[in-house]
Structure 1
Amino acid sequence: MREEAVSCRLFLSFLPELRTCGAATELPSRQCCTRTHWNLIAADRVPLFMTLRSEPAVRPSAGGSEIDHRVDDARAWLEQAVRLGSSPEEALEQFDLLPPVPLEAMPGLWRGTGLHTGHPIDGLLEAYGWYGKAFDANGDAHPLLFRHRGGTVAIDPRWVPTSMLDSNRVTRSAVARAGFAAALPMLRTEEPKARLRMVAYRGVETAAMIYDRLPIIDLFRQVAPDIILGLMDLRGEPPFFFALHRVERPQR
């Protein structure tokens, strides 16, 4: 317990705004996004359609049959890329070839897996116990679910220190990971912290998750009915790729 408390204080030292505003005592204490409990609070402050500026997709000069064949093989490509990694150029090309995802296909609980492309945060989320994401039928989203004591908890992304985005020894150290795990009960929330909207990106309109308080948009493309390739667009950073596998659909 003493080591856990020390790790927790060390992690919270990265969060001066959390200490000064007293928000650590105000965060909800109940677990969120378990198999039977998702919050359904409406948040409708973003238009149903947005356009995200980006360079247009550069598609290979291949015939329709070749493109269709590559889309059919997307699952095999993704499985191999998750195991062995991929170049960022190949991942982006595969992303462009995949069909868009409609909003109605998103609700449910999804398990996440990083796709290594040489990005600075490759493997970092998994090292901290990232589980995946959850989406509600009304468009609310819980962007960061982490494993905790045999279950999952959703945390408010704004309390994650920006230093976690750096690939360095301190961020990836056992002490930092232990501190994060100890601080999870104070960082968790039951409120949705992002929203699903249709976004035009690289010439294709697709489902996307827009963070409430961070300059991040996750764009989604369909690999299979229950498998999605995601691209995290963070201002000033190269794309970060990940895969989502559906665990369950929302209960009706």
Structure 2
Amino acid sequence: MGVKTTITLLEAQKLFPSFKIVSLQATTDGVMDTTYILDNYVLKKYERDIQQKIQTDKKVLALLQRAALNVPTCVAQNKEWYLYEKLQGEMPKTLKLFHIQSLARFMSQMHKQTKKIQTKHLFLKNYEISELLKEIKQSHFFYFKKLHSLSNYSHPNDGFIHGDIFQDNTLFKKDKIAVFDFIDGGDGSFVFDIAVALLSFNPHNKKTFQTQFLKTYNQNAPYKISQKQLHQEISNAAKFYSLLRIHTHNNTHKAKLLSSFW
């Protein structure tokens, strides 16, 4: 999230006169798209040519809503501006087992639904990993050597994955989880999707969290996942996001934090 295109409260009200918009707060995180927080809505402008992604996003959100999962609804569009309902909840200060269980239940139900979707939009292909590695070779050769194994990395296409369920893309209301920002998802591996989430929801790599996640997830999952599979994909996911953070944000500190998972 963040702001690239500024808009005033009056302009937002004119864009969506049928909705009660009384406040407008710019977000500060993120570099890709413009996001404002309103009282009951989230206002977004996608700063990229991703019309096909937007249509897929709407399809996925509608599918998950029919499965009673807590994801946002796009309630209106005017030109390049999109108005989403604002989900309720907050990010917990301390993660507990019931948060991990809630995440696992959400992802197992999500994957049951999204295995039916084949978008022909591959998650990994979005990022051109080999090109990213070439670009960091000169400036961050140490990390290039550590991450070079990603040049041969691929994973199976199990169905549509979010690919970015970090804590800042979730909210909790007691033991109920809400998940948003599906726009950069694509076809990919369910194990990879889980591995990415656990990088954020289990930053200290607690065995109890990982074990409880798998126990809960596998109860209703489309495919059962083993500890061995998950352990390997957590390593791959950590390398992948280390590469993205170095390339996109020049942030070796965050890459260093993830290196314990390699």
TM-score, normalization by structure 2:
0.27
Q: 1 or 2, which has the higher helix percentage?
A: 2
TM-score, normalization by structure 1:
0.27
Q: Which has the higher contact order (CA 8 A, sep 6+)?
A: 1
Q: 1 or 2, which has the higher strand percentage?
A: 1
